[in-house]
Chain A
Amino acid sequence: MQHTKLQKKNDRQQVLAGEKYEALQQFIDQLEEKEGALIHVLHKGQEIFGYLPRDVQLYIARALGLSGAKVYGVVSFYNYFTDKPRGEKLINICTGTACFVKGANLLMEELEEKLKIKAGGTTEDGKYTLNAVRCVGACGLAPVVMVDDKVYGRVKPGELEEILNQH
């Protein structure tokens, strides 16, 4: 019984993955020019899969006629791309100069302790991913914490609990 359930879940996941690859391939097929489209395709891939696992990177490499090393080179260069699964919510703490001066590091320490993860990590329950990002361009609001698209300004360490509760 247990086994069949698991089997069904795996089958469903495979179908799902198949559909995702199909969507990615469709996107690649409609590109007018494949040369120089790598970053574009990686964005789409991350949108579809939520992150860029190894197989997706190699798939993109084959589809665009590039080497796996080249694709991974670009993925590892840009902070935006990730090859690890992300939590449901993405918490970005701005560590640009202004935010840093205003104590972004204290916010980071507190969140790391609260969520029991390091910057770049994802909580065990898959709920949150915590990242340090460079200047988000809202220095007047320093220090800034973002949860997905929502921006919180002039955040004090004590307020983090409340922010997490909203998500």
Chain B
Amino acid sequence: MEKVKITINNKTLEVPREYTILNAAIEAGIRIPTLCHLDLHDLKMVNRTASCRVCMVEVKNRPNLAPACATPVNEGMEISTDSLRAIKARRMAVELLLSNHPTDCLICPRNLRCELQSLAQELNVREIHYSGVKSDYHLDTSSQAVVKNQNKCILCRRCETACNEIQTCGILSALGRGFHTVVGPAFNLPMVETSCTYCGACVAVCPTAALTEVNHVPKVWEALHNPKKYVVVQTAPAIRVALGELFGMEPGTIVTGKLAAALRRLGFDQVFDTDFGADVTIMEEAKELIHRLEHGGKLPMLTSCCPAWVSFIEHQFPDLIDIPSTCKSPHIMFGTIVKTYFAEKNDIDPNNITVVSVMPCVAKKAEAARTELALDDHNNVDIVITTRELGDMLKEAGIDFDKLPEEDFDHPLGETTGASVIFGTTGGVIEAAVRTVYAWLEKKDLDRIDFKELRGIEGLREATIPINGQDIKIGIAHGLGNARHLLEEIRSGKKDYHAIEIMACPGGCIGGGGQPYHFGNDEIVKKRQQAIYREDLSKKIRRSHENKEVLEMYKEFMGEPYGEKAHELLHTYFEPKERI
């Protein structure tokens, strides 16, 4: 690697030639404030629009200041990051951004979590010297999942990079020109009229509150305090390895017990675990895979747990609509089970039950509103809140999370397995399915539970697993860009698999759009992943078909897995949709 010698603030260092000034400064331990810049290391994606002008530095013999994030180093470069001129320029850039920014920080959804706000504080902005017209756009609240507040947009274009480069959905683009530039969909349509998958990748990288999830916390409070309502909560596998971060705990801290306790303190009538739904999903999906393998069904079979991914295939690959598994996603299955089996068993009118899902996901909000998933005249899942929203609720309720005791989930829908826990990470759903398919079909080595060849953090992976004399070829993709790649290879016949797992978010649900913000720091995602596998190992039962409460449910109520009643209640269908 070729190196060049440069000095930053009189400190001499040697750095690779392809570095930017910002890369070099980070290595030298010198902080240059940034705003639009976003380096998603493992995804090999950098948002380098250099549009915010916050990282301006002075370079000797260069008349104008240079944006550190987008200026490459060269031999002998003398950089000064702390000159008065550079400091003033940075402050001016932030003041100009603030001059066209709403000043409702105190009641903003990103209050104290806003990068623009922290920057104003860091750069000592005490006065905004510029006054002028402020943008006044309509709030886009058209969708069930994402709110777009163009007035708070600083045109950093991170969302555009996430939507176009990483997810390849192509929903967001800069529109118009000059002061009237906005970021929006084609024809500036309301989000609900577009092919947005609501994966939340844009929400996860937005530095301000220009893109946020729809806030469903008030609805939960209302349900909890409605004496007529029997309120049941379920929590996804990925929550337990991330929620702690919102209370100052290290990434990767497992808080399953405290989570159950916290939900009970909030006043839910039953505290259940979506993992139960995940185990049911495996019962159905594994049977469906075996059925397709044995009866010449459509292959490969794709997992259907991820609603953003389901929406993606409906809009972007309508010709492949018959390959995903027809299984509803685990939390929707769970909602169905609560409103049928559980309601019947406990003699509660399902119309009086409110099911709340705590999800690491923004898309689950839109999924819960899909009418074809509704049961009779009520939704299977009534309200979806994200990990972040749950954190907000706990703080609002004054619950000292750290001091909570470890408690268990309620039963009978609280028993879970290691297989269901790993649903939270890329590779987990398919490993859970393989554990069961293997146990059902293989005649030898029946103790085998771990299929480590399916694990990892690479965006595209594949493995071949011999089961009962047949080589089962498995593909795994996370991030919708990778999913697109895989689907194109299947469509062109370049690759063939028996089963494929796809998750829309990089890392899977642990890196979900509704998780505590990690701004592309993949170390955090990796720690959450390790925690998931630790939790798996700590479980006594680690295969879905050995979950006693699940088996009991089938025996008492559902009948055969993949049977008639299961089809009616636990499966769904997909429809091709227009791409805009």
Contact = CB atoms under 8 A, between A and B. Distances in A.
B185 A69 contact: yes
B174 interface: yes
B202 to A, nearest CB: 12
B171 interface: yes
A7 interface: no
The list of the 5 closest CB pairs from A to B, nearest first, reads A67-B170, A68-B186, A69-B173, A73-B173, A72-B186
Chain A CB within 10 Å, residue with most, of B184, B187, B579, B580: B187
A62 B271 CA distance: 48
Nearest to B171: A69
Given A68-B187, A73-B175, 8 more contacts: A57-B186, A58-B186, A58-B580, A68-B186, A69-B172, A73-B174, A76-B175, A77-B175
Contact of A72 (B173, B177, B579): B173
A72 B186 CA distance: 5
B170 A76 contact: no
A71 interface: yes
A70 B580 CA distance: 11
B177 A77 contact: yes
A71 B176 contact: no
B74 interface: no
Interface residues of A, number: 15
Contacts of A70: 164, 170, 173
Contacts of B177: 76-77
A54 interface: yes
A71 B175 CA distance: 9
Interface string A65-89: 0111111110011000001000000
B186 to A, nearest CB: 3
Interface of B: 164, 169-177, 184-188, 579-580
Contacts of A67: 164, 169-171, 173, 186
Contacts of B176: 76-77
A84 to B, nearest CB: 12
Contacts of A58: 186, 580
Contact of B175 (A57, A66, A72): A72
A120 to B, nearest CB: 13
Contacts of A73: 173-175
A72 B164 CA distance: 15
Nearest to B174: A73
11 contacts: A61-B186, A69-B171, A69-B173, A70-B170, A71-B186, A72-B173, A72-B175, A72-B187, A73-B173, A77-B176, A77-B177
Interface string A102-135: 0000000000000000000000000000000000
A61 B578 CA distance: 14
A26 B481 CA distance: 31
A73 B172 CA distance: 9
A77 B173 CA distance: 11
Chain B CB within 10 Å, residue with most, of A61, A69, A73: A69
Nearest to A78: B177
A76 B175 CA distance: 6
A71 B164 CA distance: 13
Contacts of B173: 67, 69-70, 72-73
Nearest to B169: A67
A148 B147 CA distance: 43
Contacts of A66: 170
A147 to B, nearest CB: 25
A76 to B, nearest CB: 5
A61 B171 CA distance: 12
A41 to B, nearest CB: 16
Contacts of B164: 67, 70
Contacts of A61: 186
Contacts of B170: 66-70
A122 to B, nearest CB: 19
Interface string A1-34: 0000000000000000000000000000000000
Interface string A27-52: 00000000000000000000000000
Contacts of B175: 69, 72-73, 76-77
A73 B187 CA distance: 8
Contacts of A57: 186-187
A131 to B, nearest CB: 15
A158 B341 CA distance: 82
Nearest to B580: A68
